[in-house]
Structure 1
Amino acid sequence: MTTATVDWCETNYAHSHYICELFNSVSSLAMVLAGVLGIALHHRVLERRLLLAFALVSVVGLGSIAFHATLLFQHQMLDELPMLYLALLMVYILMENRPERRFGLWFPLVLFGYAVLSTWLTAFFRGRLQFFLFQTSFASLEFFALARVYLIHRRNQEVKARRVFQVGMGAYALAIVLWMSDTRFCATLNETLPAHGLPNPQFHAWWHVLVSCGFYALLMVIAHDRLRTLGQAPRLHFAAGVLPFVRSTEHP
């Protein structure tokens, strides 16, 4: 029996008696991998705040697996609440972007208060209101953070960093389009297409993959800018020609 406040556009238990949404569950591994790779490639390079962001990406992925595998409300919280905390951490990282602390203690306290309020709104409401409150809280933080990354992109003249931003923002934008299409056109995707012999394209699963790639790339842009702010002459490299990572003069 499912207790979550939202049921995504993938037929429940269609492929396994043990996993409610197989494609959405498996695709969530992309978030776990993005976080693990970020930590593995940068644990001696980046500050703890950025490593914590990568760790939270993996936590979101694990929560997403639990959520989609069961569609239980308590597992939904394991997905949604870490997303909120990650978004708040990104706001802190993007605002406190100078060598010395830009704001006083009041700023993290305000973010903590927002986290408490958002946790209460997300965890103690049910039905469509719960989903709306979560999406409103998360989306406002998400788009603020994306706007700040865009400002970083505009002042960065390094060609590699600009290309990574373009790829990351493109993947993120496409992920949002697929997420919205999956929620708005579920009847077409899950009923009309199969009736004509075409499978459900599983847009929500692709959202997981694309948002993982996009977020990782945008974190590289943020990390590159942060190292430059700290005077460490960052350089962008690409593992296997496709996976970006940063190095500085202090960490060759």
Structure 2
Amino acid sequence: MADVISSFSGRVTSTTEWCEKNYVYSPYIAEFFNTLSNIPCILLALIGLVNSLRQRLERRFSVLHVSNMVLAIWNILYHATLNRVLQQSDETPVIWETLLYIYVLYSPDWHYRRTMPTFLVLYGAIFAIVHWHLQSGICFKVHFLILCLLCIPRMYKYYLYTEDLYAKRVAKLYAVTLVVGTLCWLFDRVLCKDSWLVNPQGHAMWHIFIGFNSYFANTFLMFWRAQQRGWAPRILHYMGILPYVKIRKPKAQ
């Protein structure tokens, strides 16, 4: 949408807007549904963080859940204001978080453990500087896609080596929410029409699906890592619905 108007948060300066008219429901929120749809991601990440801390899992998983929350908060600020600086502040952490997933996925089999985090930190810093100066949405999207494609084969490998049926189900939920969320994103981006009587809010649905996707990814990775460490993980469910990991560490640990 090309609604360049001035409101509580100032003029719209973002280089990208989505299929939602600006400041329709509130003078304080530019894209109402795209803003509020980040709340489920924050709540799911908080649930995952509490479980990770309670189970005393490795710190990397607490960092993952916190990064999911921080990213959702930045996304709220971006969609609420459509400010270019906040857009940059939203896109760069997306790449950082994806690099964090690459570390969690590949570090267990990495022979030179100190080189991997050093490389990823430098890579993230260089991307932030270059992205700030280029301000290219296309480069960001292509870059993000490539990094995601690096994660998927590793997730599939872990799925193949997982025998627990409930854990496999979590991995399938990860795949389904990723595919459906991506279709919602594409629908909103490519097929947006002002003539719609009702806006299907594809980008807001993307936020919701990707929030669940991140939760399922984190849960599956927590299960897999606990299995590697010999902590006898099990998949249980909150209220019979939301999966989470329960471990039993050997007494010696």
TM-score (norm 1): 0.91
Q: Partner of 1:213 in structure 2?
A: 212
1:147 to 153, 164, 168: 153
Q: Partner of 1:73 in structure 2?
A: 84
Name stretches of at least 5 consecutive residues in structure 2 with no aligned partner. 1-10
Deviation at 1:94, TM superposition (A): 0.5
List aligned pairs for 1:160-171, cutoff 5 A.
160-171=166-177
Distance 1:234 1:250 in 2: 9
Q: Partner of 2:36 in structure 1?
A: 26
Q: Partner of 1:156 in structure 2?
A: 162
Q: Partner of 1:175 in structure 2?
A: 181
Structure 2 residue 138 is matched with structure 1 residue 132:
yes
Deviation at 1:10, TM superposition (A): 0.6
Q: Partner of 1:6 in structure 2?
A: 16
Distance 1:102 1:237 in 2: 33
Contact 2:107 2:116 in 1 (8 A): no
Aligned-residue sequence identity (percent) comes to 28
Contact 1:87 1:141 in 2 (8 A): yes
Q: Partner of 1:43 in structure 2?
A: 53
Distance 1:44 1:249 in 2: 12
Distance 1:186 1:121, change over 3 A: farther
> Cα deviation per residue 1:45-102 (whole Å; 9 max; x = unaligned)?
221111101100000100000000000012112321221111001101100125xx63
Q: Partner of 2:196 in structure 1?
A: 193
Deviation at 1:147, TM superposition (A): 2.1
Structure 2 residue 64 is matched with structure 1 residue 53:
yes
> Cα deviation per residue 1:149-175 (whole Å; 9 max; x = unaligned)?
111111101100111111121011100
Contact 2:41 2:68 in 1 (8 A): yes
Q: Partner of 1:114 in structure 2?
A: 123
SS in structure 2 opposite 1:6? coil
Contact 2:230 2:249 in 1 (8 A): no
Distance 1:23 1:218 in 2: 24
SS in structure 2 opposite 1:232? coil
Number of corresponding residues:
240
Letter in 1 for 2:27: H
Distance 1:76 1:30 in 2: 20
Distance 1:87 1:228 in 2: 23
Q: Partner of 1:227 in structure 2?
A: 226
Contact 1:121 1:134 in 2 (8 A): no
Distance 1:69 1:35 in 2: 21
> Cα deviation per residue 1:170-224 (whole Å; 9 max; x = unaligned)?
011100111011111112xxx1222xxxx10000000000011112112111110
SS in structure 2 opposite 1:169? helix
TM-score (norm 2): 0.90
Letter in 1 for 2:133: F
> Cα deviation per residue 1:122-150 (whole Å; 9 max; x = unaligned)?
22223xxx101111222211121122111
SS in structure 2 opposite 1:97? helix
Distance 1:155 1:5 in 2: 43
Contact 2:52 2:61 in 1 (8 A): no
Name stretches of at least 5 consecutive residues in structure 1 with no aligned partner. none
